[in-house]
């Protein structure tokens, strides 16, 4: 009966339709306190070219980054082990007909954003909880060079050239805070892990709340335990469904301060409730990290459609 329940929890979310880039969740944990990781998303992995079309993230975690003054703005849980990091993140969005030079009324606008993110990950091995916080500063609009990146990739790969970027969301500032809470609720040896999680974002790019759970199945360590008896080799599958309540999305509605974007999705046309699902495979050694991930999300505005994409993560410790 227990085994049947485990498989049900793992497979049930496949019917759901994924937050964009999230490196702090426990199933992406790297045991060391010093590491570098690169993440790249593209809807090419799902054989599409619309909605969330591309994203990348360069992530650096070091003990010396504890001195980053931004960390003084974060909540400070007691009796925990903490990691401190910086990352550079870029995300881009396009409508379905990205070749046309005309505005695609009823579809999402072209948009790109680039951010510098400061973050902390605090783990309580007694209570089996994990609190992650991040503060991002950046820019949405032409200054994020989304047009140049997508056009360059399409030219290099011989695909159709995007011509609608002249109607993209205009330049505006990004200041965004995010907090994630995660708690382990079940573990079976080094084979199965189950956690509940919740997150909230507030700022000029995204304002929303989310809740769900994540599960791992394979050969794995727990991010919630101490350093003893850790396996040097891990390989496991994961699934992560969640429900979201959306208050604001600048990639659809335009920037908070600059209201001169030629085309946006109105507040009345925004879907306030969405569901998303991440799933994938992680392989880790003592010094290396590799992940293949797939994601899906229900439509984010009333005249839109659900979206799918995939990605890879490659990291190493030092």
Q: What is the pLDDT of residues 215-272, one digit of tens each?
A: 999 999 999 997 777 889 999 999 999 999 999 999 999 999 999 999 999 999 999 9
Which residues, listed in sequence order, are joined to residue 282 by a DSSP beta bridge? 236, 291
Answer yes or no: are the C-beta atoms of 305 and 52 closer than 8 Å: no
All residue ranges of the chain with pLDDT < 70 are: 1-19, 49
At a CB cut-off of 8 Å and minimum separation 6, what does 270 contact? 246, 249, 252, 253, 300, 301, 302
- pLDDT for 216: 98
Round to whole Å and give the CA distance between 31 and 285. Answer: 10
Beta strands in the chain (DSSP E): 35-42, 51-61, 81-94, 111-124, 129-140, 172-188, 192-203, 206-219, 234-249, 273-284, 288-297, 307-317
- pLDDT for 226: 78
Q: What is the phi/psi pair of residue 204, to 5°?
A: -90, -5
- pLDDT for 13: 38
User: What is the sign, positive or negative, of the torsion defined by CA atoms of 63, 67, 70, 73?
Assistant: positive
- pLDDT for 235: 98
- pLDDT for 16: 37
Round to whole Å and give the CA distance between 250 and 66. Answer: 31
Q: What is the pTM of this model?
A: 0.91
Round to whole Å and give the CA distance between 316 and 286. Answer: 9
- pLDDT for 183: 98
- pLDDT for 111: 97
CA distances, 61 to each of 33, 38, 83 (Å):
7, 12, 7
Residue with structure tokens 């993110």?
117
Q: What is the phi/psi pair of residue 72, to 5°?
A: -70, -15
For the domain with range 2-317, which CATH number is right: 2.40.128.140, 3.30.360.10, 3.30.465.10, 2.60.40.10? 2.40.128.140
- pLDDT for 18: 40
Per-residue pLDDT reduced to its tens digit, 33-60: 999 999 999 988 777 767 898 999 999 9
Q: How far is CA 114 from the centre of its chain?
A: 14
- Here the tokens at position 100 are 């046309």
- pLDDT for 2: 44
- pLDDT for 53: 87
DSSP string, 20-77: S----SGGG--SSSSEEEEEEEEGGGGT--SEEEEEEEEEEE-GGGGG-GGGGGS---
Round to whole Å and give the CA distance between 299 and 295. Answer: 13
């Amino acid at each position: 009966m227990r085994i049947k329940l485990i498989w049900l929890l793992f497979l049930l979310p496949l019917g759901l339709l994924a937050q964009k880039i999230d490196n702090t969740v426990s199933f992406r944990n790297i045991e060391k306190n010093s590491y570098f990781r690169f993440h790249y998303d593209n809807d090419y992995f799902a054989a599409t070219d619309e909605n969330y079309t591309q994203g990348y993230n360069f992530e650096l975690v070091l003990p010396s980054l504890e001195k980053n003054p931004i960390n003084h703005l974060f909540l400070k849980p007691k009796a925990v082990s903490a990691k401190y990091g910086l990352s550079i993140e870029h995300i881009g969005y396009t409508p379905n007909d990205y070749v046309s030079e005309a505005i695609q009324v009823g579809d999402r606008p072209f948009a790109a954003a680039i951010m510098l993110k400061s973050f902390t990950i605090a783990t309580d091995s007694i209570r089996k909880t994990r609190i992650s916080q991040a503060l991002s500063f950046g820019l949405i609009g032409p200054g994020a060079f989304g047009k140049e990146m997508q056009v360059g990739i399409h030219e290099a790969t011989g695909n159709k050239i995007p011509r609608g970027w002249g109607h993209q969301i205009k330049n505006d500032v990004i200041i965004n805070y995010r907090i994630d809470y995660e708690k382990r609720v079940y573990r079976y040896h080094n084979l199965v892990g189950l956690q509940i999680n919740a997150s909230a974002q507030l700022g000029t790019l995204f304002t929303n709340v989310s809740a769900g759970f994540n599960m791992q199945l394979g050969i794995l360590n727990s991010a919630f335990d101490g350093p003893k008896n850790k396996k040097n080799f891990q390989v496991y599958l994961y699934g992560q469904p969640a429900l979201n309540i959306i208050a604001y999305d600048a990639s659809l509605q335009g920037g908070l301060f600059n209201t001169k974007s030629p085309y946006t999705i109105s507040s009345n046309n925004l879907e306030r409730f969405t569901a998303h699902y991440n799933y994938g495979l992680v392989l880790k050694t003592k010094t290396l990290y590799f992940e293949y991930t797939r994601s899906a999300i229900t439509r984010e505005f009333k005249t839109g459609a659900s979206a799918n994409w995939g990605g890879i993560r490659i990291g190493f410790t030092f």
